[in-house]
Amino acid sequence: MNVLVTGAAGFIGFHISKRLLESGYKVYGLDNFSSFYNVCLKRDRLKELEGVPGELNFEELDLLDTDALSSFFKLANPDCIIHLAAQANVRYSIEHPVDVINNNILSFMHLLEQARLFSVGHLVYASSSSVYGNNKDIPFKTTDNVDYPVSMYAASKKSNELMAHVYSSLYNIPSTGLRFFTVYGPWGRPDMSTFLFSKAIFEGKPIKLFNYGRHRRDFTYINDVVEGLVKVLNQPPERNGQAPYALYNIGNNKPVELLAFVRVLEDIIGKKALTEGVPMQPGDVAETYADINDLVRDFDYRPSTSIQSGIKKFVTWYKAYYGYE
């Protein structure tokens, strides 16, 4: 099977591409190497991928370049797409809303058009727990009302879900949206808390704990996410007289308070953190908690990585990559 992975040099894109290559899929990877964070990390992920046995066809390409995208689709002729390319980060979206519109909505439109033209068999795309906004009903269910986002990033992901439904309905393109919940692990994004907190502890610098550390996050280890992605990829929604369209939460189903998260990091790193409690930021939410019953029912999804185990694996990688003793 030919699988096109967008954002293949990104965090989740790297891990799912690696898993697909190891499983015998032909992987066609795209990434624009955005400078949102250090491009060297993305280049190093790509080097790792190029060392994995299997057929990888990678191109540095921006989804906003419609001519280049069309040419790549002719080369790849993908059976399925895993769309992970996006401008991430809630806080960034507040300062740079136009970037989010271009990279999360317009680029997705271009991808949908190619999926239509090439009759792609399944489009799996990244949504986000951010779409739930300040929803007070815990845990978050995909049936909850998500019409009140509190950041442009959240609005862009909700827009993706709506756009995918249109293309599923009009053009019979099976699509599955996955609302990811705080994914972490080796090769992660430097703007995420696991990365930021570890760096601060190793360097003896203070950690800003928003909402005074009372935030609760449904931290989900990358291997559990990849397991879910593979299961979903191989079972597209059926056309039973309605749009072949589905939405799922993909989380650990066990929220952890930030203060407790920091304590686990301290124990594993063997060094106390310097912390500074600060108020909640605009666009932020107090808690995320995934109801994954639908994913368990339909795909037997079973996240198995504890926060202690996941953080230990991350810290082991972090120390080796950055040369900490």
- The CATH fold assigned to 193-217+253-289+305-322 is UDP-galactose 4-epimerase; domain 1 (3.90.25)
Give alpha helix (H) positions in the chain. Answer: 11-22, 39-50, 66-76, 90-95, 97-100, 107-117, 152-171, 193-203, 222-233, 258-269, 293-299, 307-322
pLDDT reading at 13 higher than 80 = yes
Confidence band of 81 (pLDDT split at 50, 70, 90): very high
Residue 116 burial (C-beta neighbours within 10 Å; 0-12, 13-18, 19+): middle
In this structure, which CATH number among 3.40.120.10, 3.30.43.10, 3.40.50.720, 3.40.50.150 belongs to the domain 2-182+220-250?
3.40.50.720
Contact criterion met (CB below 8 Å) for 225 and 270: no
pLDDT reading at 210 higher than 90 = no
Residue 283: which of 90, 86, 97, 87 has the closest Cα? 90
Query: Over the stretch 27-43, which tens digit does the pLDDT of each residue have?
Result: 999 999 998 889 999 99
Question: What pLDDT does 134 receive?
Answer: 86
Residue 193: which of 290, 288, 305, 83 has the closest Cα? 288
- The residue extents of the domains of the chain are 2-182+220-250, 193-217+253-289+305-322
Query: Over the stretch 159-190, which tens digit does the pLDDT of each residue have?
Result: 999 999 999 999 999 999 999 999 999 999 99
What is the spatial order of strands in the sheet that 80-83 belongs to? 56-60, 26-31, 2-6, 80-83, 122-128, 175-180, 245-250
Confidence band of 91 (pLDDT split at 50, 70, 90): confident
Residue 132: which of 148, 114, 115, 121 has the closest Cα? 148
What mean pLDDT comes out for the span 19-27? 97
Residue 301 is a catalytic residue: no
The structure's pTM equals 0.96
Structure tokens given for 207: 């950690």
Cα–Cα distance between 299 and 275 in angstroms, integer? 40
Structure tokens given for 142: 């995909």
Question: What pLDDT does 284 receive?
Answer: 78
Confidence band of 136 (pLDDT split at 50, 70, 90): confident
Query: Over the stretch 250-284, which tens digit does the pLDDT of each residue have?
Result: 999 999 999 999 999 999 999 999 999 888 887 77
Confidence band of 240 (pLDDT split at 50, 70, 90): confident
Confidence band of 83 (pLDDT split at 50, 70, 90): very high
pLDDT reading at 325 higher than 90 = no
Contact criterion met (CB below 8 Å) for 81 and 4: yes
Active-site residue among 153, 167, 245, 248?
153
- The reply to whether 193-217+253-289+305-322 shares the fold of 2-182+220-250 is no
Residue 92, number of CB atoms within 10 A of its CB: 18
Phi, psi at residue 85, to the nearest 5°? -65, 130
Among 109-113, 161-165, 237-241, 289-293, the minimum mean pLDDT is found in: 237-241
Half-sphere exposure of 88 (CA within 13 A, CB side): 22
What are the helix and strand counts (H, E) for the chain? 12, 13
Q: Which residue has the tokens 């994004």?
A: 189
- Angle at which helices 11-22 and 39-50 cross, to 10°: 0
pLDDT reading at 145 higher than 90 = yes
Residue type, position 129, single letter: S
